[in-house]
Amino acid sequence: MNSQKWALLLKINLGVFVVFMLQGCTYSEKKDKEHLVFKYNEHSNIATLDPAFARNPQTIWPSNQLFNGLVQLDDQLNIQPDIAKSWHINDSTSTYTFTLRDDVYFHKNKVFKKDSTRRVIAQDFVYSFDRLLSPGLASPGSWVFSAVQRYHAANDSTLVIQLKKPFPAFLGLLSMRYCSVVPKEAIAYYGNDFRSNPVGTGPFVFKFWEENVKLVLRKNPIYFEKDTQGNRLPYLEAVAITFLPDKQSEFLQFAQGNIDFMTGLDNSYKDEIITTKGALQPKYKDRVKLITTPYLNTEYLGFFMGSTSKEIASPLIRQAINYGFDREKMVTYLRNGMGIAATHGFIPKGLAGFDSIQGYSYNPEKARALINAYKQATGATTIQVTIGTNSQYLDLCEYIQRELEKLGISITIDVMPPATLRQLKSSGELDIFRASWVADYPDAENYLSLFYSPNFTPNGPNYTHFKNVVFDSLYVEAQKISQINKRKLLYTQMDSIIIAQAPIVPLYYDIAVRFVSKKITGLGINPQNFLVLKKVKKAK
C-alpha cells in the first residue's frame, strides 16, 4: 500500500477515534475537544496489555499508562514513590518494608460489584507477585524476583520483601512494569483475556482495542496523583494509538500533523528531518521540537568466545577490529550525529562508571601491528571473519567491513531476519554478531551481567560466553555494596577487564530521540525512553 493510501487510512482511523471517544457531543464540541487526545503510532504492534508480559517498549508504553507499581523512576532515573509512599531498608537482613498509600483505587470495571472499584492493599501486591512467578503464566519477567527469598503483607498498608542476599539494584527492578499491581477479580473474570481487558490503577483506563488497527485509552477520573497545584492528573482526555507498520508512512503522518510525536531515527527519513550534525532541518523548526538524551543502550559487535575460529579466539584480532574503524565518523555520517562514539567501556552514558576508563579509539597503525603479530604467531596468511546482522544495521556493518579490509581483514556479512539473529546469537552459532543491550533497570550491574560466567546463554544474557575469574569475583563482591560510589569502583574494574579482553566491539552509546509537535507540552524524555503521558498537555 502506498503512502497516500496509508495517509487516508490513518485519517479515517483517527476520525473514528474521536467519534468513538467523544460520542454524544455535537460536531463543534468534538472539534473543540480533539486537542485533548494524544495520538501516536506503534509500528511494531502490541502483543498484549498484560504487564506481566511487558518486555519491550511497544508493550511497556501503553502499560505505563494503565498500571502502577510500588515505585517509579523520574526522568533522571531517580527512584520515586508510586503506590508505596515510603520504604525502609534493613541492610543487615536485606529486608525492604513498604508503606502504601491509602487513596489508590483500581479502574472502575464490571469485575467489581456494581461496576465499581476498590482500594489497593498490600495483599494485592502479594497476589500480583505470586502471579508473576507462576509457572503456568510463564511470564518473561519472573527473573525480577530471582533474588527474593520471601514477601508478605504485614497488614493492608504494609508490604515486606526479604532478599536472599544483598542486591543494591533491587528497587530499580521494582520500577519495571512487570511488578505492576493487578486485581485478582479481573484475572479470575477475564482469565487469558486479561491481555485485552486490562484493569490497573494508572492515569488512563482501557477503552477499546482493534488489534493491528487502533487502541484507545481514556482518562482515569479517580487517578491518585496530582500536580504541584493540587490538580488531579492526567490532563489529557484520551490516548489514541495506531499501528502503521512502515516507519516512512509513520513519518509522513507526523509531518502532516496526524500524530503528535515520533521516536527513533530511521534511515528512510533521517536526512529529511535532521542534518548531519544532528539538528532539525530548517523547514520543521516552526512546528516540531527535537528532544534528545543519552539512552541506556549500548550497540556492539559480540564475539562468541566458544568459537572454533582461530581468529575469534585470538585477542590480537579482537583488539585489531576494535582499533580498525572510526566510530566518530560512523556516528556522524550513518547516524546523523545521533549517538555517542563508544570510546569508553561497555557501560553507556548515564550510568555510574561510564567515563571512568579509556576504551578503543581509531588507530589503524595499532590495528596493523596487532594483525602482523597474529600472523607471525600463527603463520596465517589471510584473516577471514563473518558478522551476522539484520538489515537495519547493514550500513554500520558495511562501513566496518570496508575499513577493516583496508587493514587486511576480510569480512563477510550475513544478513538475516531479526528473529533468526536472536536465535543464532543465543545458541552460539554466530562467530560475530551485531547486538544491543537496553537497560532493564538503571544500574551498571545490568550491563556487566552479560559477562558473568554463570550467565552463559541459554541460562542468562552472557551471549559471548566470556569467562574471567577476576571479573566473576568482582561481580559477586559488587552485589554486597549498597553505596553507589564504592560500587562504581568495582564496576570500573570489571569494565576495564572487558575492554582489555575484547569479547565485544562497542560501536556507540545510543541517544533517545523524540520528534514532538509544538502543540505538546509536558512530554519529557528519559534515558530508558519510556513514554509517560500523565503530565502531557496539548494545545488547540
- Dump pLDDT digits (tens) for 236-254: 999 999 999 988 999 999 9
**Any residues with CB less than 8 A from the CB of 434 and at least 6 apart, and which?**
299, 300, 301, 387, 388, 389, 390, 393, 396, 397, 421
pLDDT at 26 over 70: no
* Residue 400 forms part of a structural domain: yes
Residue 501 belongs to domain spanning? 295-511
Q: How high is the pLDDT of residue 8?
A: 43
Measured CA distances, 477 to 22, 197, 356, 482, 493 (Å): 57, 44, 19, 11, 12
Whether 283 is covered by a domain: the verdict is no
What's residue 60's pLDDT? Answer: 95
| Lowest mean pLDDT, pick from 7-16, 93-102, 158-167, 526-535 | 7-16
CA distance linking residue 497 with residue 501, whole number of Å: 6
Task: Tell me, yes or no, whether 45 and 89 share the same domain.
Answer: no
Number of folded domains in the chain?
3
Identify whether residues 301 and 397 lie together within a single domain.
yes
Q: CA torsion 157→160→166→167, rounded to 10°?
A: -50
Do 425 and 496 belong to one domain?
A: yes
SS3 391: helix
Does residue 80 sit in the same domain as residue 158?
A: yes
Residue with cell 551476522: 388
Domain-terminating residue out of 159, 179, 195: 195
| 438 DSSP β-pair partners | 297
- Predicted local confidence at residue 31, as pLDDT: 56
Question: Quick one: pLDDT band at residue 144, thresholds 50, 70, 90?
Answer: very high
Beta-bridge partner residues of 302: 433, 504
Domain with 211 in it: what CATH number?
3.40.190.10
Do 473 and 426 reside in the same domain of the chain? yes
Task: Identify the weakest region by mean pLDDT among 18-22, 296-300, 531-535.
Answer: 18-22
Instruction: Look at residue 7 and tell me whether its pLDDT is greater than 80.
Output: no
* Residue predicted with more confidence, 169 or 7: 169
CATH of the domain at 176: 3.90.76.10
Which of the two residues, 128 and 12, has the higher pLDDT score? 128
81, part of any domain: yes
Of 18-32, 115-129, 255-269, 423-437, the least confident: 18-32
Residue 19 in this model has a pLDDT that exceeds 70:
no
Q: Average model confidence (pLDDT) for the chain?
A: 92
Q: Which domain CATH number covers 494? A: 3.10.105.10
pLDDT of the residue at 12: 42
Half-sphere exposure for 407 (CA within 13 Å, toward CB)? 30
User: What pLDDT sits at residue 277?
Assistant: 83
Q: Name the pairing type of β-strands 383-389 and 340-341.
A: unpaired
Q: Is 275 within a domain?
A: no
By the 8 A CB rule, do 7 and 32 touch?
A: no
- 401 and 443 belong to one structural domain: yes
Closest CA to 107 of 115, 95, 99: 115
Does 488 lie in the same domain as 383?
yes
C-beta neighbour count of 7 within 10 angstroms: 16
Q: Where are the beta strands (DSSP E) in 211-285?
A: 214-219, 238-242, 261-263
Task: Let me know whether 503 and 528 are in one domain.
Answer: no
Among candidate residues 213, 198, 265, 250, the one with its CA nearest the CA of residue 62: 198
Span 100-117, average pLDDT: 94
By the 8 A CB rule, do 203 and 69 touch? no
Query: Strand, helix or coil at 392?
Result: helix
Question: What does the CA dihedral 403, 409, 415, 421 come to, rounded to 10 degrees?
Answer: -110
CA atoms of 153 and 160, how far apart (whole Å): 6
| CA separation for the pair 56, 224 (Å, rounded) | 26
pLDDT at 206: 98
DSSP helix/strand/coil, 329: helix
Is there a domain that residue 280 lies in? no
Asked if 214 and 13 count as a contact pair (C-beta separation under 8 A), the reply is yes
What percent of the chain shows pLDDT beyond 70? 94
- Do 254 and 300 lie in one domain? The reply is no
Torsion sign (Cα): 127, 131, 135, 141: negative
Is residue 344 a contact partner of residue 353, using CB atoms and an 8 Å limit? Answer: no
C-alpha–C-alpha distance, residues 72 and 59, integer Å: 17
Q: What is the pLDDT of residue 482?
A: 85
What pairs with residue 71 in β-bridges? 81
Q: What is the pLDDT of residue 25?
A: 53
- Any domain includes 493: yes
**Neighbour-count burial of 389, counting CB atoms closer than 10 A to its CB (0-12 exposed, 13-18 middle, 19+ buried):** buried
Confidence of residue 32 (pLDDT cuts 50, 70, 90): low
Q: Which of 178, 195, 212 is the last residue of a domain?
A: 195
The answer to whether residues 128 and 206 belong to one domain is: no
Strand partners for 521: 537
In tens, the pLDDT along 348-363 reads 988 888 877 899 999 9
Residues 234 and 330 placed together within one structural domain of the fold: no
143 is a domain residue? yes
Residue 540: partners with Cβ closer than 8 Å, 6 or more residues away: 32, 35, 519
DSSP assignment of 452-485 equals: -GGGBTTSSSBTT----HHHHHHHHHHTT---HH
> Of 174, 195, 216, which one is at a domain's C-terminal end?
195
**Alpha-carbon span 253 to 5, nearest angstrom:** 11
SS3 175: coil
pLDDT at 340 over 70: yes
C-beta of residue 106 within 8 angstroms of C-beta of residue 95: no
Rounded mean pLDDT of 14-19?
46
Same domain for 342 and 246 = no
For position 15, what pLDDT does the model report? 46
Residue 270 lies in a domain: no
